[in-house]
Amino acid sequence: MRGSIAWLVLCVTFHAEARKAGGSIQLDQGIASLNVRAGAQASAVPAVKGAGNAPPPTNVQAVYHKGQLTSGNVNFHVVYVGASAAADTALQQGVSQFLTDMPAIKSFWSVFDQYSQSGPLTGVAGVNTTTWVLPAGTLMDKDVNAYVQTNYIAKGTKFTAADVMIFMLSSEIGFIQNGTIGGQMQTAAGCIDFCGIHLVAGSQGNAVPYAVIPSYQSWPCNAGCYATPSSGNLTTMEATTLVLSHEISEVFTDTYEGTNGGGEGWFVEQKGPYQGMELADICQAYGYSAAVGANKYIMTKIWSNTDNKCMP
């Protein structure tokens, strides 16, 4: 499902990128199944409900809608929000290593070749980190946009198609997304309605896609997002890479979501259970384990039009 939310000078489309109610995530190579409840209108990966295996998607066709996509050597700008995330050097090192390793995870990175209308993704140029220390509380998308305007655009930053921002939240920082669906105002909350979301900040002609990733260290995010024994039994970092890979894959392939003076990216038009979904949404019941040297990660699977299945 697709809707729109208006804020400042941009109109952002957002999606039902959550796990469907009663569905499950099946993780390959002996990783335990994760049973999750869907988020509302957002980019997501949420909460525990029910058991059972989802049938593999088939005969789904994602369609390109002429928007500019992420391309080139990607520059990740990672902002650690809140006091505990700013002080968590292990989290920062783990996330930076994962983002750096992404191109070497060929089962993940190579899928984007078939969706590279704006040019290929050639690698990761760098991972730049900073902190945004805030008191405990709740952020909204307007707060993120104001942060980007003040700390980047007002200081002369000109974003390119290779720039991606990621906001890693502390456990004491929440996130709420407001928008309209079918003319009705909707609100979705992090770790209750979604485990991760991607949106767009900035201004017309100088916009940047971003993902918001909550902390999965404590309730409700650990229980809602796979990081307790009863909800998936993932470690905090495993849950983080699962959600990050989901959101980043969709930032790459539906980058500006109809903003920044262009069309939209890749999503499903055909009516049915996958209508409006982006590439990771289609495969949201499936994950897998991957490794780069000694570094092991839990990843989302991604829909491949070419192979007519979730890859790998």
Q: Give the pLDDT of residue 275.
A: 94
CA 180 to chain centre: 20
Tell me the mean pLDDT in the region 1-19. Answer: 29
Per DSSP (E only), the strands in 95-240 are 121-132, 137-140, 163-169, 173-181, 184-189, 197-203, 206-213
**Structure tokens that stand for 298 in this block:** 């839990």
Average pLDDT across the chain, whole number: 83
Q: Which residues pair with 84 in a beta bridge?
A: none
Q: Give the pLDDT of residue 53.
A: 58
Tell me the mean pLDDT in the region 95-124. Answer: 97
Nearest to 14 by CA among 6, 3, 22, 24: 3
**Structure tokens that stand for 26 in this block:** 């099946």
Q: What pLDDT band is residue 136 in, cutting at 50, 70 and 90? A: very high
| Tally of domains in the chain | 1
Give the whole-angstrom CA distance, residue 312 versus residue 303: 9
**Structure tokens that stand for 295 in this block:** 């570094």
Give the number of other CB atoms < 10 A from CB of residue 261. Answer: 11
Q: Give the pLDDT of residue 114.
A: 97
Q: What is the pLDDT of residues 142-171, one digit of tens each?
A: 999 999 999 999 999 999 999 999 999 999
CA 148 to chain centre: 18
- Residue 144 belongs to domain spanning: 2-311
Would the pLDDT of 295 be above 70?
yes
Q: Give the pLDDT of residue 54.
A: 64
Higher-pLDDT residue of 2, 294:
294
Q: What pLDDT band is residue 181 in, cutting at 50, 70 and 90? A: low
**Structure tokens that stand for 170 in this block:** 């502390």
% of the chain beyond a pLDDT of 90:
68
CA 196 to chain centre: 5
Tell me the mean pLDDT in the region 96-115. Answer: 98
Q: What is the pLDDT of residues 226-250, one digit of tens each?
A: 888 888 889 999 999 999 999 999 9
Q: In this structure, are strands 23-27 and 34-36 parallel, antiparallel, or unpaired? A: antiparallel
**Structure tokens that stand for 256 in this block:** 């500006």
The type of residue at 143 is: D
| Spatial contact of 300 and 39, defined as CB atoms under 8 Å apart | no
Would the pLDDT of 203 be above 90?
no
Q: What pLDDT band is residue 42 in, cutting at 50, 70 and 90? A: very low
Q: Give the pLDDT of residue 7.
A: 24
Would the pLDDT of 222 be above 80?
yes
In this structure, of 58-67, 141-150, 160-169, 175-184, the range with the lowest mean pLDDT score is: 175-184
Give the whole-angstrom CA distance, residue 124 versus residue 132: 23
| Spatial contact of 69 and 253, defined as CB atoms under 8 Å apart | yes
